[in-house]
Each structure stands twice: as structure tokens, then as C-alpha cells.
Amino acid sequence: MKIEKMDHVGIVVKDLQAVKHFFTTLGLELIGEQDVNGQWIKQIYGAEADEATIAMMKVPHGETVIELINFRGEIDSPEIFTHFPKYVGASHFAFSIQNIEQVVANLKSTTAHIIGDIIQYEDIYKLCYIKGPEGIFVELAEKL
């Protein structure tokens, strides 16, 4: 047995439209969206929800997909998002991009904001972290 590839990463979200707008602005493509319902939601997710919307967003030029899950019903949701690269647990996605300054400027049409500054790491990368909607953290890396 061996792992063939990473298929996707799933994120549970409250505001599906805001999160889709954030990832679309970053350059991901919405490849499918579907409303689902039934007992299987509880069976697979352990959620006390009867309905959900699932949106799949694909990174261009690759196979990586992000699954956005919006449950309708009673779902636990912390009001304060503490995950960031300095905390234990899932922290961020990293995207290799071109023209980091333009990407950051484009994100001003979303609820996202830059954490710190765009920095240059040696002669290798320009880097920055973005806090997106619902506490989703993204690292942007432009290879020099």
C-alpha cells in the first residue's frame, strides 16, 4: 500500500459565498457545487445537520482541490480563530504565485487582509501571510 497523491483538503465554512470569492480572487476555479442532504451527512461528518452545500475549487495547472462544506443546522463554530503558523494544529495553505503585490492588491475586494508585510527571503522568494474569511490562513510565495 502506498499513497498515490493528495486528493483534496476540506474546510467547513459558514459564509460559503465569501470563501468562494476569496479563493476565486486568488485564482482558484469553482469546478462544482452541490446541495446534499440525508442521513449520510451525519454518518460521514458526524454533524447534526440535515443539509449541506459542497463546493469544489481547483488550483490552476494542477490536481489540488479544496472542498468547501457549508452545513445547515447546528454546527460548532468558535468565534475566535486562533490557528496561525505559530500555533499547534492545522495552520495554512501555501500557494506558489506570480506577482505577489498584484495578488495582495486583488484581495482587497475580499474580507482578507495581509498579516505583517510582504518580505523577501534571501534571493529565493517573496512571501506573505493572508488571513482570509472565517480564519482561513494562506501563505503566498513568489519565486524570484
pLDDT tens, residue by residue, 112-134: 988 888 999 899 999 998 989 98
- What is the spatial distance between Cα 47 and Cα 54, in angstroms, rounded to a whole number? 14
User: CATH number for the domain including 18?
Assistant: 3.10.180.10
Q: 22: burial class by Cβ within 10 Å (0-12, 13-18, 19+)? A: buried
Residue 13 lies in a domain: yes
| Residue the block writes with cell 506570480 | 98
- What is the spatial distance between Cα 142 and Cα 120, in angstroms, rounded to a whole number? 9
* Full domain range(s) for residue 43: 8-74
Q: How many CB atoms lie within 10 A of CB 115?
A: 14
pLDDT of the residue at 4? 73
- 3-class state of residue 25 by DSSP: helix
Query: Is residue 60 over pLDDT 60?
Result: yes
Residue 79 lies in a domain: no
Residue 81 lies in a domain: no
Phi-psi region at 126: left, alpha or beta (left = phi > 0; alpha = psi -120 to 50): beta
Residues 20 and 47 in one domain: yes
Residues 99 and 127 in one domain: yes
Start-to-end C-alpha separation, the chain? 38
Residue 24 lies in a domain: yes
User: What's the domain count of the chain?
Assistant: 2
pLDDT band at 84 (very low <50, low <70, confident <90, very high): low
